[in-house]
Amino acid sequence: MKPFVLYVMPEARARAVALVAEGDMIPAVRLIRQATGLGLKEAKDYVDGLKGEAYARTVPADVQAKARAMIAEGRWKDAAKFVRQETSLGLRAAKDYVDAVRAGLIPVEPPVDRPMLSDRVRAFKTAGDLGSAIALVCAETGMRRDEALRFIEALH
């Protein structure tokens, strides 16, 4: 049975994410091994899982929003191409970022001045644009299409 990481100290995790963002994968793996006692393969797998979060730091909020909308529409390949075109990320890094978004590993950080999700969804609903409302809910919450539809229907 493989070892399972239940917890990584926040400082070690943050430092590992920073190392990954800088492209220093080997020091990141070494740090995680020291912090957790994991073997080489397990520590590498853990660090590989941090790539999307590390790359998210370089993706501007507007690009993240558009990429999330594409992902919600099932256009994840287009989202990876878009992220690559709009950032300094390479193809593999853009794909890792999109995969992390698809897996729900990158939380949405709404701007402080942005209206609440429910208000924006109501505006689409009122305008009769159900497709945009569904895409918005999926992109910002990670809900599946059927879950987003139930959420939208529940709004008054």
Structurally, how many domains does the chain consist of?
3
Q: Within a domain: residue 112?
A: no
Q: Within a domain: residue 33?
A: yes
Q: Within a domain: residue 107?
A: no
In the predicted structure, residue 43 carries a pLDDT above the cut 60: yes
- Whether 71 and 102 have beta carbons less than 8 Å apart is answered as yes
pTM beyond 0.85: the answer is no
Q: Within a domain: residue 3?
A: no
Q: Report the C-alpha gap between 117 and 48 in whole angstroms.
A: 31
Predicted confidence at residue 41, as pLDDT, reads: 93
Predicted confidence at residue 111, as pLDDT, reads: 54
Question: Got the DSSP string for 108-139?
Answer: ----TTSPPHHHHHHHHHHTT-HHHHHHHHHH
- The number of residues in the chain equals 156
Residues 96, 62, single domain; the answer is: yes
Residues 43, 80, single domain; the answer is: no
Domain range for residue 18? 10-48
Q: Within a domain: residue 109?
A: no
Q: Within a domain: residue 4?
A: no
Residues 96, 131, single domain; the answer is: no
* Mean pLDDT to the nearest integer, 96-104: 86
Residues 66, 98, single domain; the answer is: yes
